[in-house]
Chain A
């Protein structure tokens, strides 16, 4: 490349470089999304078609009444997330969100352990009537009613 880009078509070269980078970014994004996007599971789906053990996913459902227990260390809790068909035990270590309680909805982010327990690193609860995790918004509309009845 001694000195100047010799081609008369420097503009064309630049356009091609930019397009290549953008297409590259798009392909890279598509590839990364396939492996990194975390999918949303209902308890029933989690039981019937569980995700691979190391895959980050989200689990959404109702916290079953009477299932919430605190371990001896005072900061680890276990509870069961259920829908009308299935129940999934969940373990979480941390400070629970303010509106997290039995009988209300929750979205847990984390991974499914080999023994079938869902190990959550983060819990999303209904924050107030203005801020609801997006999965829960649908959930409350479609399933919560039946779930609520089932749990009662």
Chain B
């Protein structure tokens, strides 16, 4: 019953999207079309219907309605409630419904709240949004129906992949998806602006909050995913350059570039065609990511669908959307006139540099991710890993970070570097001193560069705030400084992890102890324990840091029974200056247990930095939205007064 309702709502929403596209196109021809008046309404109702459909899917998962095939395949009645809810999107069909839900709700928000742009541009944007949505509705309804039924109804479900049975599942996919799909709004804005020839600072100001919002969620999603992989996989690493991770990094890189170029367009009416292009590229990267992850060309824990038909469907969607957008771009780019000029030393130039470097990194990641697939098509089996990505990426990242130290202080249009030399002396000295010290202590090149750049950047990120009265600093400026600070903090964490990590791999008996870095770890006990849907062997470890207070760690080796699978559950002891990471292995000869321990100084800065970046983005968003609202209220007041005077 509930499942039928959900499916019906989905079909109805798809029909409304088709109507929205038709209406948008007709209105583009002539504004008198009667559909003009209801276009916004269509988008809003469509959003409501899809949300209803998604709520229905959550409902059948909570109820464990096994007549729904998706529930039977991915859930189990004995699973904790959190995972019953999260299992809704812990599979292919459900995650695509989540995608469509966010897309439709985004469209509804544009329809309901966007008042800064001229009406024709909004209509064109809604038409573009409908065009993209229809493809995904079709994919959902014809190739991945989440509400498909089973007959006869099985006795119980098959359970959720144990690797996914983690609180991370409740948080990481939805945030990442809001980011991925939020970029579709930027995409639609860009296409809408091209169609109506409205590439202007007003367009940039309207688009900016959507880009900021999507980017904040992408940042959070990637940060959360990285921490999840770090503690759940038991390899002690936080980023593997796995194609699935790259799939989320590529839209982030494009969105970061877009975020910076949209500021130039908003403030200075420059980089017009480039910004529109980035709007198209950012969401294209989201779709490329989805294709890579969900088509089955990659084999990973993220690839639920190993159905070639689905891969082809997504590839066709990808080609259609990107192709259509690029066609519109090619037809209209010539009519986007050149923006305002700027000098070689100026804020604009610094941001152009940022954009070119980010695009370079994007190119490196894209090539490194696709190359193994292409090579395989030609018969060679190749894998590309950290040595390639770290080295090739650094060539672009290092110059970008150097320019980042000065860039935010430069004036728009024209500036002289000599004005800022004295301020820049602090980060420059830090950079040289730390770089030299790291080299002297034998730290490898990349970590040494990371430490030096990171610490110098901490100082440099605060420079734009200098000499201003704290109370008059705008929220957006706080946001920028905080986000740049976050980059520095994360960089220090990464460099520290790769330069200073201590590792110990040992087989020990109960009662023995081992030292790793400043820690002394004693194996106290090995006990069997039981959870709601698993049993485990648990090691009781007592760890003391430099002879002080004792931490208790309990790494487990868990055996799930639906589906039957073993999962290592690591244990962490977190101090302000780093984390001790413990993994329990197998029992070996002589009653000894394998233990793997890492002491990772300042590793937590990686994720704290990520959170700071997201928080910076959030502050900027808040500042922009607040000032937009103030402006709208002021405009309304003036309009009211005029009306009264006319009377």
Contact = CB atoms under 8 A, between A and B. Distances in A.
Interface in A36-69: 36-40, 56, 58
Contact of B380 (A22, A39, A75): A39
Contacts of B385: 36, 38, 56
Interface string B585-599: 110111010101000
Nearest to B565: A128
* Range, interface on chain B: 35 or more
Interface stretch (B63-71, B93-101, B362-370): B362-370
A30 B372 CA distance: 12
A14 interface: yes
A114 interface: no
Contact of B396 (A25, A32, A40, A56): A25
B326 to A, nearest CB: 16
B566 interface: yes
6 contacts: A10-B338, A29-B371, A40-B383, A73-B507, A98-B568, A138-B381
A75 B505 contact: yes
A39 B356 CA distance: 31
B387 interface: yes
Interface stretch (B293-301, B311-319, B443-451): B293-301
A141 interface: no
A141 to B, nearest CB: 13
A21 interface: yes
B634 interface: no
A95 B586 CA distance: 7
Interface string B551-563: 0000000000001
Interface in A89-131: 93-96, 98-99, 127-128, 130-131
A32 B388 CA distance: 6
Given A38-B383, A96-B586, A32 B391 contact: yes
A69 B345 CA distance: 65
Contacts of B360: 21-22, 24-25
Contact of A70 (B391, B396, B588): B588
B506 A75 contact: yes
B567 interface: yes
Interface centre among A10, A17, A26, A132 (most CB of B within 10 A): A10
A130 B380 CA distance: 24
Given A95-B585, A128-B161, A133-B299, A40 B381 contact: yes
B338 A11 contact: yes
A84 B370 CA distance: 32
Contact of A131 (B299, B382, B588): B299
Given A25-B361, A58-B381, 9 more contacts: A18-B274, A18-B355, A22-B363, A32-B388, A33-B368, A40-B382, A56-B385, A75-B507, A95-B234
Contact of A37 (B301, B382, B414): B382
Contact of A28 (B364, B375, B568): B364
A24 B360 CA distance: 8
Given A1-B344, A10-B338, A128 B382 contact: no
A40 B384 CA distance: 11
B352 A14 contact: yes
A5 B356 contact: no
Nearest to B563: A128
Nearest to A20: B356
Given A1-B344, A75-B505, A18 B359 contact: yes
A39 B299 contact: no
B309 interface: no
A95 B391 CA distance: 29
A24 B364 CA distance: 10
B124 interface: no
B505 A94 contact: yes
Nearest to B373: A134
Nearest to A98: B566
Nearest to B304: A130
A134 B382 CA distance: 10
A29 B338 contact: no
Interface string B407-451: 000000010000000000000000000000000000000000000
Contacts of A56: 385, 387
A74 B588 CA distance: 6
B12 interface: no
A28 B345 CA distance: 27
Contacts of A96: 585-586
Interface centre among B301, B357, B359, B505 (most CB of A within 10 A): B505
Contacts of B25: none
Contacts of A39: 380-382
Contact of B363 (A11, A29, A33, A95): A29
Contacts of B507: 73-75
B161 A36 contact: no
A18 B341 contact: no
Contacts of B414: 3-4
Contacts of B363: 22, 25-26, 29
A137 interface: yes
B378 to A, nearest CB: 13
Nearest to A60: B381
Contacts of B508: 74
B343 interface: yes
Given A17-B356, A22-B363, A33 B341 contact: no
B596 A95 contact: yes
Contacts of A138: 381
B9 interface: no
B402 interface: no
Given A56-B385, A75-B505, A95-B583, A130 B298 contact: no
A14 B585 CA distance: 55
Interface string B333-345: 0000010011111
Contacts of B359: 18, 21-22, 25
A36 B388 contact: yes
B22 interface: no
Contacts of B148: none
A131 B583 CA distance: 22
